[in-house]
Every structure is written in structure tokens, then in C-alpha cells.
Chain A
């Protein structure tokens, strides 16, 4: 009974995903939703807006600079987490060594 229910649910999910794939536009076609006016705007107005020939740098650090601030914060948070974990184990290790030395 449980197996049958799983099969029904998984078949439904499979059909849903397959139909959604069939509805997708072809890879690289011009009707893709990602080919909207934003990319055209960037390519046409970057020099005027930021006077930087590197459009990617302009997008990263001018148009979407706030996003890059979040990205840098992620780097900072990850390094803080890693160091807090590793440094504690180092400290414990050193303490044990010192105790052994005294003993």
C-alpha cells in the first residue's frame, strides 16, 4: 500500500517535470526569458553610465554592487566559521601538550 502510494506520487512528479521541460524554450533561442531588455541595456549604456569598458566589472561593482557586498560578506562569514572551528582544536591540542610536559 505504501509502495503504491509512493509510485503514484513519484509518477505524478515525473509527469509534471517532463511536461515542464517540454514547455521550456529551446536552448539559445531568442524567445528565452533571459534575453530581455536588461542585457541590451547593459551592453548599450555601460560606457555612458560607468565609463568602464569591462561590462562584467561594471555589472558586478556598479549596477549590482550591493549583491557583491553580500558575496564578500559570505566569504567573511565562511572564513570566520572555519577559523573558529579549527582554532579551538589547535588551542586544545596545545594545552594537552603543555600538560604532558609538566607531568
Chain B
């Protein structure tokens, strides 16, 4: 889509969409939202960029290798956090039983493993959406 208005508006609006997605992911344990919805917003921002600027520029911003690492990194991070529970003396994916930092309810740094897992899920969902879209659109 080679339109000046669309390009200018997308260039202005994409950082705010991404900020909102990161906000939803990081506040997953306090407010409505979480890894899946925040990751969807993040992925949608990059899809929007691809739609307006084309695949070449978008794959320069987010190369395939980076999204590959994000793809497997999200799930490996999830499993790593789960194994930390065993190392600290609880069951797999234990939260309070393993003695993670619980904090006060409502603070950003609280709730033990919940924010950590939410970040992993968010990265995973965002990279899944982007990779799927880029792979389908690659066909010229």
C-alpha cells in the first residue's frame, strides 16, 4: 500500500500500540489482560507495519532469525521458570510453595511467577502472529 497518509499515520501510531501491548503484558496480574491479549496487540502492531510498508522493510525491523529465537525462547522460558520451582523446593510451576517473591497485592513487582510466565506467553503469541503473517505473505 503506497499511500502517504497511511504511512505517516502508521508510523505515528505503531509505537503507541506497542506500548499498550507491553503495558497489558506487564500488568497481566493486576488488571484485565495478560499474555495472550497483550501478545496479540503487539503482533497486530507489527502486522499493521507490514501491511503499510511492505514485507522488505518489516523483515528488516523484525528479521526471521529474531522471531525464530522469540518463538522457541518464549516456551523455553516458560519451562525454565517451571523448573525453577523444582530447584527452589516445590513442584513444577509452583509459585508460593517454592518461595518466590510474593510482594503486596496490586504492586507491579508481586505475585511471584505470574508476571514472568505472562511475559513468556506474550513474546510467544506476538512472534507466532508475526511469523505466520510474514510466512503467508512471503509468496510473491
Q: Contacts A51-B103, A52-B29, A69-B93: A83 and B114 contacting too (C-beta < 8 A)?
A: no
B96 at the interface (CB under 8 A from A): yes
In this complex, the interface size class of chain A, counting residues with CB under 8 Å from chain B, is 20 to 34
Of the listed residues A61, A72, A79, the one surrounded by the most CB atoms of chain B closer than 10 A to its CB is: A61
List residues of B (80-123) whose CB comes within 8 Å of A's CBs. Answer: 82, 92-93, 95-96, 102-106, 110-114, 117-118, 120-121
Q: Contacts A58-B114, A65-B93: A90 and B128 contacting too (C-beta < 8 A)?
A: no
A90 near B139: Cβ-Cβ < 8 Å = yes
In the complex, A93→B138 CA distance in Å? 12
Cβ-neighbour of A68 out of B105, B111, B117, B132 (below 8 A):
B117
A86 at the interface (CB under 8 A from B): yes
* Residue count of chain B within 8 Å CB distance of chain A: 41
Cβ-neighbour of A75 out of B103, B106, B125 (below 8 A):
B125
A62 near B110: Cβ-Cβ < 8 Å = no
Q: Give the shortest distance, in Å, between B93 (CB) and chain A (any CB).
A: 4
In the complex, A76→B125 CA distance in Å? 9
A11 at the interface (CB under 8 A from B): no
Chain B minimum-CB-distance residue to A63: B95
Render A42-78 as a binary contact track against B, CB cut-off 8 A, 1 for contact: 0000010111111011101110011011001101101
Chain A minimum-CB-distance residue to B136: A86
A82 at the interface (CB under 8 A from B): yes
In the complex, A78→B82 CA distance in Å? 22
Q: Supply 30 A–B pairs (Cβ within 8 Å), ascending by A.
A: A47-B105, A49-B95, A49-B96, A50-B95, A50-B96, A52-B30, A52-B105, A52-B111, A53-B29, A54-B31, A54-B34, A57-B114, A57-B118, A58-B111, A61-B114, A61-B118, A62-B95, A62-B113, A65-B95, A72-B121, A72-B124, A75-B124, A79-B71, A79-B128, A83-B131, A86-B135, A86-B136, A87-B135, A90-B139, A93-B139
